[in-house]
Structure 1
Amino acid sequence: MNFAVIGVGGYIAPRHLEAIKELGHNLVAAYDHNDSVGIMDRFFPDCQFFTDFERFESFVDLKKGSSEQIDYVSICTPNYMHSSHIKFALSHGAHAICEKPLVLYEKEIDELEHYENKFGKNVYTVLQLRVHDAILALKSKVNSEKKAMYDIDLNYMTSRGQWYHESWKGDVRKSGGLSTNIGVHFFDMLTWIFGEAEEVTVFEKSSTAEKGALKLKNARVIWSLTIDRSKLPPDALKAGKTTFRSIKIDGSEFEFSEGFTELHKRVYTDILNGKGYGLNAARAAIRIVEQIRGM
């Protein structure tokens, strides 16, 4: 298959480049307004690269009907750009593979459904926790137990420096805020396993930390997210770690700290085999973070 990447200079793009390369596909074109994209030499040194979106668009159109026609556009851009770049992919004859969060507002999912129907192409979202072995095992266990209610504590800490607040990630209008930017994939995982949210509560909300509660169909969740390094547990700080994840289910720690290196490759494999997650798979988590943003 032939791919294009929008946002190839971003943090998450190398995982997409690696998945495309290792699965034996072609990267035909890439765009980023930033030209610090030397990472491409490791994977696709012959790929056409553009810093001007109009030239990128013209190139994509030029390849239609040729052996290099774009089949998939992978979108790794800032959150607020996702919807418009997905529309670009569909309207130019390609399927879209978009990083989390798929969009910032639930109404955008409805708009994108219209685009799918209009252009006959699909939108796939990167929900990598759904292909993690430990989380697949947990979902299987929960399904087999058929328990009415679980109590869950989610604590996610990932250190970010001052740059974060000066970048688009620190701008709620562009990132959606902390819960959207770093929490949405956990909310997706929890709703996928324990059912959609019936109540959403926020206890604390600042530029560095958010805390709250969720009442899911089969779980009561207390959640805490922070990018403040000083909040890391002493053992993590001593070991020089910058990230700490903890999920406790009915008081017992759920271990899933390993197994993250191959997740994008698995996501791509599923998509190319016709089993990827589409627009509506993202809806429950987008609804939660949109509600949090409004509180």
Structure 2
Amino acid sequence: MKFALIGAAGYIAERHMRAIKETGNTLVCASDRFDVMGRIDSYFPDAEFFLEHENLDKYMDNQRMAGTPIDYVSICTPNYMHPSHIRFALRSGANAICEKPMVIHPEEMRIIKEIEEETGKRVFTVLQLRHHQAILDLKEQIDKAPTNKFYNIDLSYITTRGNWYFKSWKGDVAKSGGIATNIGIHLFDMLIWIFGSVKDCRVHLYESHKAAGSLKLEKAEVKWHLSLDENDLPAEAVQAGKRTFRSINVEGKEVEFSDGFTDLHTVTYQNILNGNGFGIDDARESIELTERIRELGGLV
């Protein structure tokens, strides 16, 4: 398969390049406003590279007219750009693979769904926690339990960030969706996937660098805490020299999943290429939930 990649200089883009290579496919072209792109040499040194999106558009159009169209466009741009880049991919005759969150606002999913139907192409999103072995084991355990069993859960995700974060697009709620979207979307998707749809949502704290609240799902009551503050790291993480801590406590039993993320983008790509990727309907509830959290936090 022939791939294009938009946002090639971003942190997460290298995982997409590796996934394209490890699944036996080719990155034909890439674009980014930032021109320090030495990383691409480790994966696809022959790929065309463009600083302007318009030039990528022209190149892809020429490829299509020459009978060698791009099959997939991987999207690693800032969150607020995702809808326009998804529309571009679909209308260019390619499927799209979009980093989380697929979109910030639920209304954008309706528009994209219509373009999918119009073009016959699809957008897939990266929900890599659904491929994490510890999470798969937890889902299997919950699925095998009596259907009327209800769980109490504590969820913490602390991933420390420096001052740069708040001066970048990630620190701008309008561009990132805020901490619940930019940091928490995978976790909320995972909870809904395992424990069922949202019945109630409360927000106790919502600031630029941390948020906390509670959820009532079909099978669980969840207390959640997200933070970018290193002072919130537990002692064991600090002693181990770690700057990230992920933890789910289910009925007093710890499910630790801080590690095991290295190859999950490749697994994600393999599933998409095999016809088992996650699309709009899979991402919908977590996107609707994070918008509700912003509303309750006074940010909408």
TM exceeding 0.5: yes
- Shift in Å, 1:12: 0.4
Identity fraction in percent: 52
Deviation string 1:145-195 (CA, Å, 9 cap, x unpaired) is 024311110011001000000000000000000010000000000000100
Give the corresponding residue for 2:102. Answer: 102
Are residue 22 (structure 1) and residue 22 (structure 2) matched? yes
Q: Secondary structure at the match of 1:77?
A: coil
Aligned partners of 1:66, 1:137: CA distance in 2, in Å?
A: 47
Give 1:48-127 correspondences, 5 Å limit. Answer: 48-66=48-66, 68-127=68-127
Letter in 2 for 1:219: A
Shift of 1:277: 0.7
Residue matched to 1:246? 247
1:67 positional shift: 5.8
Partner Cα distance (2:16, 2:67) in 1 = 22
Provide Cα deviations, 1:192-226, integer angstroms capped at 9, x if missing partner. Answer: 01001111110001111100001111110000000
Return the offset for 1:258.
2.9
* SS of residue matched to 1:204: strand
In the alignment, residue 292 of structure 1 is paired with which amino acid? I
The answer on whether the counterparts of 1:213 and 1:221 sit within 8 Å (CA) in structure 2 is: yes
AA in 2 matched with 1:134: A
Specify the alignment match of 1:213 in structure 2.
Answer: 214
Structure 1 partner of 2:183: 182
CA distance in 2 between counterparts of 1:168 and 1:97 reads: 21
Describe the shift of the 1:67–1:258 C-alpha distance in structure 2 as closer, same or farther (beyond 3 A): farther
What secondary structure sits across from 1:28 in the alignment? strand
CA distance in structure 1 between the aligned counterparts of 2:11 and 2:68, rounded to whole angstroms: 26
Question: Structure 1 CA distance, aligned partners of 2:238 and 2:274?
Answer: 42
In the TM superposition, what are the counterparts of 1:181-200 in structure 2 within 5 Å?
181-200=182-201
Shifted more, 202-211 versus 144-153: the winner is 144-153
Aligned-pair CA distance for 1:65 = 4.5
- Which structure 2 residues correspond to residues 281-292 of structure 1 after superposition, within 5 A? 281-292=282-293
* Amino acid paired to 1:102: M
Match of 2:7 in 1: 7
Equivalent AA in structure 1 for residue 124 of structure 2:
Y
Supply the distance in 2 between the matched residues of 1:250 and 1:52 (Cα, whole angstroms): 51
Question: What amino acid sits opposite 2:178 in the alignment?
Answer: G
Say which is worse superposed, 41-50 or 256-265, in terms of deviation.
Answer: 256-265
2:246, 2:256 within 8 Å by CA — same for their partners in 1?
no
Q: Does 1:135 align with 2:135?
A: yes
Large movers: runs of 4+ above 3 Å = 65-68
Instruction: Normalising by structure 1, report the TM-score.
Output: 0.98
Q: Is the 8 A contact 1:156 1:226 kept in 2?
A: yes
SS of aligned partner of 2:118: helix
Residues 154 and 250 of structure 2 are in contact (CA less than 8 Å); yes or no, is this contact kept in structure 1?
A: yes
The Cα of 1:63 is off from its aligned counterpart by 0.2
> What SS class does the counterpart of residue 38 from structure 2 fall into?
coil
Q: What is the letter of the counterpart of residue 219 of structure 2? A: N
Q: Distance in 1 between matches of 2:257 and 2:52?
A: 41
**Residue segments in structure 1 that go unaligned for 5+ positions in a row:** none
The answer (yes or no) to whether the contact 2:244–2:258 under 8 Å persists in 1 is no
Q: TM-score, normalised by structure 2?
A: 0.96
**Matched-pair contact (CA < 8 Å) for 2:237–2:245:** yes
Q: Which stretch of structure 1 is more off in the superposition, 139-148 or 99-108?
A: 139-148
| 1:160 matched to 2:165 | no
- Residues paired across the two proteins, number: 295
1:122-147 Cα deviation digits (max 9, x unpaired): 11010000111221121111111024
- Counterpart of 1:237 in structure 2 is 238
Shift of 1:239: 2.3
CA contact (8 A) 1:28 1:68 kept: no
Task: Identify the range of structure 1 (168-177 vs 22-31) with the bigger mean alpha-carbon deviation.
Answer: 22-31
Aligned residue type for 2:139: K
Question: Is 1:73–1:89's contact at 8 Å kept on the other side of the alignment?
Answer: yes
In the TM superposition, what is the alpha-carbon distance from 1:109 to its structure 2 partner? 0.8
Shift of 1:256: 2.2
Structure 2: gaps of 5 or more residues: none
